[in-house]
């Protein structure tokens, strides 16, 4: 049974919780157990005692970042959280989408729920209420170096809790104080550690990375099915995917992709005498080796992201068991940065693979008897129609852009903030790049799906599809009918991309 309800109680949240809550396919409820409430409030109480004792604690009785040597007067300590939140209000760029913002909120909640951030249970109640009411902070995408946490973007979350800045609510952009009043939510008056705890963590990059992982896992499965359609359309050789062959190079994910291809090609009978080539070109023959890289990466990427999601990743950490303050660098997003840099390379390689398959499908020099550009027009009207010629050009552009973005973000560390943050992860930039590459690759896949189905129909090979493949084709044709006379395809392509992103096609 698909889980549609998750409890936040300090135990590990699965990646699926982030994805499902972000897509409003599940809800997240804060635990009301006395044990959980007490554990959180004990951390806030320890911070209050340390403050009363005038002990030196970073970000509470000291300045921030390189200014940690500056002593904050006791009467100014309550003011510091507001100043921290305020001076980080400098983000620019597009706003994160509602789905992405929900993922960010879940990721921050998961970390705070570990109980080492020195915040009250009440703070988590307010964050959870934002999700419950779908009152989403408007968070700009640009401005984080991903090392002292996602400070600038997360300042917009803290500000909304205080009734400042803006939210996206009920389909409109509105001032946060107005919406909180409408929801009968009192703006928070922060205790000394709470703004720092909200801001100083890896929630933005982690939330985005969870969404990217899920999209990539679906992408590899659908790209495999699209490849099977291309094999049939191009009268390819199914023996390239036989089980014994993949027993001899036994990467598990690569073997799974080959197995999916065998299942999808189960009804396809390739006459060896009719084959144009003994060995298909690499974009068909080596498809499991390209797609399998991503399939093999997904488990270890999930492991890293699961650990990051369920970690105490701000600074300093408040350890109530030993009554000590742990000053460190858990806000550093190195694992997320490397995961996203790796994932975006694997995904862009899939865009390149699909782009090459499309080039074979539309070119009469390579498509073994199909019409040029897969036009469905006939007779004298064939010369008038150009089929998927422009679509193939667009796919080439999308693929080039995806490949261009594969430069690892993590290698561009910049020393910043008076050389205090002198080595940074750039994990949020890596995650943003990865999401853009996924979007471009989904566009490529949408186009190649349309082309592959068109080619199978022109080949007259529908009877060689399995029932699952035939159902897939029928669903696709509800979005985009067979192309006979040329027409604009942008709306149909957008509908197909949306179907991919909504994971419209299911797999057993």
Cα 155 to Cα 258: distance, rounded to the nearest angstrom: 46
Cα 251 to Cα 237: distance, rounded to the nearest angstrom: 22
H or E element in which residue 42 lies: helix 34-52
Cα 338 to Cα 418: distance, rounded to the nearest angstrom: 25
Cα 177 to Cα 407: distance, rounded to the nearest angstrom: 41
**Degrees (nearest 5) of the Cα angle 5, 7, 8?**
140
Is 58 among the catalytic positions?
yes
Cα 213 to Cα 206: distance, rounded to the nearest angstrom: 10
Tell me the CA distances in angstroms from 315 to 20, 177, 311, 319, 400, one per residue in order: 29, 29, 12, 12, 40
Residues 395 and 360 sit within 8 Å (Cβ to Cβ):
no
Residue with tokens 């170096």: 145
Cα 115 to Cα 317: distance, rounded to the nearest angstrom: 9
Q: Is 140 helix (H, G, I), strand (E, B) or coil?
A: strand
3-state secondary structure string, 368-381?
Answer: CCCCHHHCCCCHHH
Give me the DSSP letters along 246-279. HHSS--HHHHHHHHHHHHHTTT----TTT-S-SS
Cα 358 to Cα 40: distance, rounded to the nearest angstrom: 55
Residues 207 and 153 sit within 8 Å (Cβ to Cβ):
no
- Indicate which residue of 58, 87, 121, 156 is catalytic: 58
Cα 410 to Cα 337: distance, rounded to the nearest angstrom: 6
Q: Is 100 helix (H, G, I), strand (E, B) or coil?
A: helix
Q: Is 315 helix (H, G, I), strand (E, B) or coil?
A: coil
Q: Which residues are catalytic?
A: 58
């Amino acid at each position: 049974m698909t889980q549609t309800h998750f409890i936040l109680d300090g135990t590990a949240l699965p990646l699926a919780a982030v994805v499902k809550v972000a897509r409003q396919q599940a809800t997240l409820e804060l635990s009301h157990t006395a044990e959980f409430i007490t554990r959180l409030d004990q951390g806030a109480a320890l911070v209050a005692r340390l403050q009363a004792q005038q002990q030196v604690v970073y970000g509470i009785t000291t300045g921030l970042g390189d200014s940690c040597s500056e002593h904050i007067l006791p009467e100014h300590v309550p003011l510091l959280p507001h100043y921290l939140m305020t001076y980080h209000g400098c983000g620019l760029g597009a706003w994160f989408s509602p789905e992405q913002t929900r993922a960010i909120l879940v990721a921050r909640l998961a970390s705070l729920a570990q109980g080492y951030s020195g915040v009250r249970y009440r703070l988590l109640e307010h964050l959870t209420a934002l999700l419950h009411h779908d009152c989403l902070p408007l968070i700009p995408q640009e401005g984080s170096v991903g090392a002292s946490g996602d400070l600038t973007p997360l300042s917009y979350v803290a500000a909304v809790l205080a009734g400042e800045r803006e939210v996206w609510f009920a389909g409109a952009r509105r001032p946060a104080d107005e919406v909180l009043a409408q929801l009968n939510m009192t703006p928070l008056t922060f205790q000394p550690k709470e703004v720092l705890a909200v801001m100083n963590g890896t929630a933005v990059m982690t939330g985005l990375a969870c969404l990217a992982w899920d999209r990539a896992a679906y992408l590899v499965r659908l790209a495999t099915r699209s490849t099977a359609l291309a094999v049939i359309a191009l009268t390819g050789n199914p023996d390239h995917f036989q089980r014994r062959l993949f027993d001899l190079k036994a990467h598990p994910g690569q073997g799974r992709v080959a197995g999916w291809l065998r299942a999808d090609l189960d009804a396809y009978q390739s006459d060896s005498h009719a084959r144009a080539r003994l060995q298909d070109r690499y974009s068909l023959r080596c498809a499991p080796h390209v797609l399998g890289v991503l399939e093999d990466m997904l488990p270890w990427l999930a492991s890293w992201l699961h650990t990051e999601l369920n970690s105490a990743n701000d600074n300093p950490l408040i350890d109530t068991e030993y009554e000590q303050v742990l000053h460190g660098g858990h806000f550093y997003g190195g694992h997320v940065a490397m995961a996203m840099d790796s994932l975006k390379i694997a995904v862009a390689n899939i865009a390149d693979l699909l782009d090459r398959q499309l080039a074979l499908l539309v070119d009469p020099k390579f498509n073994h008897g199909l019409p040029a550009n897969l036009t469905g027009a006939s007779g004298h009207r064939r010369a008038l129609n150009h089929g998927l010629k422009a679509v193939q050009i667009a796919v080439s552009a999308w693929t080039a852009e995806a490949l261009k973005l594969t430069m690892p973000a993590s290698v561009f560390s910049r020393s910043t903030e008076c050389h205090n943050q002198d080595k940074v992860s750039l994990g949020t930039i890596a995650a943003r790049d990865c999401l853009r590459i996924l979007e471009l690759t989904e566009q490529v896949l949408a186009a190649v799906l349309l082309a592959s189905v068109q080619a199978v129909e022109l080949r007259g090979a529908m009877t060689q599809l399995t029932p699952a493949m035939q159902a897939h084709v029928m669903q696709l044709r509800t979005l985009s009918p067979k192309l006979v006379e040329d027409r604009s395809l942008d709306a149909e392509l957008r509908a197909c991309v949306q179907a991919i992103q909504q994971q419209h096609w299911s797999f057993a």
